[in-house]
Protein backbone atom coordinates (compact mmCIF):
# COMPACT_ATOMS: atom_id res chain seq x y z
CA UNK A 1 0.00 0.00 0.00
CA UNK A 2 2.84 2.36 0.88
CA UNK A 3 4.56 1.69 -2.43
CA UNK A 4 1.38 2.43 -4.40
CA UNK A 5 0.93 5.67 -2.49
CA UNK A 6 4.51 6.71 -3.17
CA UNK A 7 4.15 5.88 -6.88
CA UNK A 8 0.95 7.94 -7.08
CA UNK A 9 2.60 10.94 -5.41
CA UNK A 10 5.58 10.73 -7.76
CA UNK A 11 3.33 10.43 -10.79
CA UNK A 12 1.35 13.50 -9.75
CA UNK A 13 4.52 15.44 -8.96
CA UNK A 14 5.77 14.82 -12.49
CA UNK A 15 2.45 15.13 -14.30
CA UNK A 16 1.37 18.52 -12.96
CA UNK A 17 4.44 20.52 -14.08
CA UNK A 18 4.44 18.74 -17.45
CA UNK A 19 0.79 19.57 -18.04
CA UNK A 20 1.39 23.22 -17.12
CA UNK A 21 4.35 23.40 -19.52
CA UNK A 22 2.30 21.77 -22.25
CA UNK A 23 -0.55 24.27 -21.72
CA UNK A 24 1.89 27.16 -22.01
CA UNK A 25 3.48 25.64 -25.11
CA UNK A 26 0.05 25.49 -26.77
CA UNK A 27 -0.18 29.25 -26.64
CA UNK A 28 1.26 31.23 -29.48
CA UNK A 29 3.59 34.18 -29.11
CA UNK A 30 0.67 36.60 -29.35
CA UNK A 31 -1.16 35.03 -26.41
CA UNK A 32 2.02 34.92 -24.31
CA UNK A 33 2.79 38.55 -25.10
CA UNK A 34 -0.76 39.58 -24.22
CA UNK A 35 -0.58 37.70 -20.93
CA UNK A 36 2.78 39.28 -20.12
CA UNK A 37 1.48 42.77 -20.86
CA UNK A 38 -1.63 42.15 -18.76
CA UNK A 39 0.42 40.92 -15.78
CA UNK A 40 2.84 43.85 -16.12
CA UNK A 41 -0.03 46.33 -16.20
CA UNK A 42 -1.59 44.77 -13.11
CA UNK A 43 1.74 44.87 -11.27
CA UNK A 44 2.26 48.50 -12.28
CA UNK A 45 -1.23 49.37 -11.06
CA UNK A 46 -0.55 47.74 -7.70
CA UNK A 47 2.76 49.59 -7.42
CA UNK A 48 1.20 52.94 -8.26
CA UNK A 49 -1.61 52.37 -5.77
CA UNK A 50 0.86 51.43 -3.05
CA UNK A 51 3.06 54.46 -3.80
CA UNK A 52 0.07 56.81 -3.78
CA UNK A 53 -1.05 55.46 -0.41
CA UNK A 54 2.47 55.81 0.99
CA UNK A 55 2.74 59.36 -0.34
CA UNK A 56 -0.60 60.25 1.21
CA UNK A 57 0.52 58.90 4.57
CA UNK A 58 3.80 60.81 4.32
CA UNK A 59 2.04 64.07 3.51
CA UNK A 60 -0.45 63.56 6.32
CA UNK A 61 2.26 62.82 8.87
CA UNK A 62 4.38 65.72 7.59
CA UNK A 63 1.44 68.09 7.88
CA UNK A 64 0.74 66.94 11.42
CA UNK A 65 4.40 67.36 12.39
CA UNK A 66 4.49 70.85 10.86
CA UNK A 67 1.35 71.76 12.78
CA UNK A 68 2.92 70.61 16.03
CA UNK A 69 6.10 72.56 15.32
CA UNK A 70 4.24 75.74 14.41
CA UNK A 71 2.00 75.33 17.43
CA UNK A 72 5.02 75.07 19.72
CA UNK A 73 6.55 78.14 18.11
CA UNK A 74 3.36 80.16 18.58
CA UNK A 75 3.08 79.06 22.22
CA UNK A 76 6.72 79.95 22.90
CA UNK A 77 6.29 83.33 21.23
CA UNK A 78 3.20 83.97 23.33
CA UNK A 79 5.04 83.00 26.50
CA UNK A 80 7.94 85.25 25.56
CA UNK A 81 5.59 88.16 24.97
CA UNK A 82 3.90 87.51 28.32
CA UNK A 83 7.25 87.46 30.11
CA UNK A 84 8.37 90.63 28.35
CA UNK A 85 5.10 92.30 29.30
CA UNK A 86 5.59 91.28 32.91
CA UNK A 87 9.14 92.68 32.91
CA UNK A 88 8.04 95.98 31.38
CA UNK A 89 5.10 96.41 33.76
CA UNK A 90 7.20 95.57 36.82
CA UNK A 91 9.67 98.43 36.15
pLDDT digits (tens, 9 = 90+) for 9-40: 877 777 766 665 655 556 677 777 888 888 88
pLDDT at 26: 63
In the chain, domain spans: 53-91
Query: Which stretches of 1-91 are DSSP H helices?
Result: 2-26, 29-89
| pLDDT confidence of residue 43 | 86
Query: Using 50, 70 and 90 to split pLDDT, how confident is the model at 82?
Result: confident
What global pTM score does this model have? 0.38
Nearest C-alpha neighbor of 39 from the set 29, 50, 49, 47: 47
pLDDT of residue 20: 59
CA angle at 74 for the pair 73 and 76, rounded to the nearest 5°? 65
Predicted confidence (pLDDT) at residue 62 exceeds the cutoff of 80: yes
Amino acid sequence: MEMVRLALILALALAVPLSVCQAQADQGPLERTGRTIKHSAEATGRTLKHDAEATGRTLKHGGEATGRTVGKGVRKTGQTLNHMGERISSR
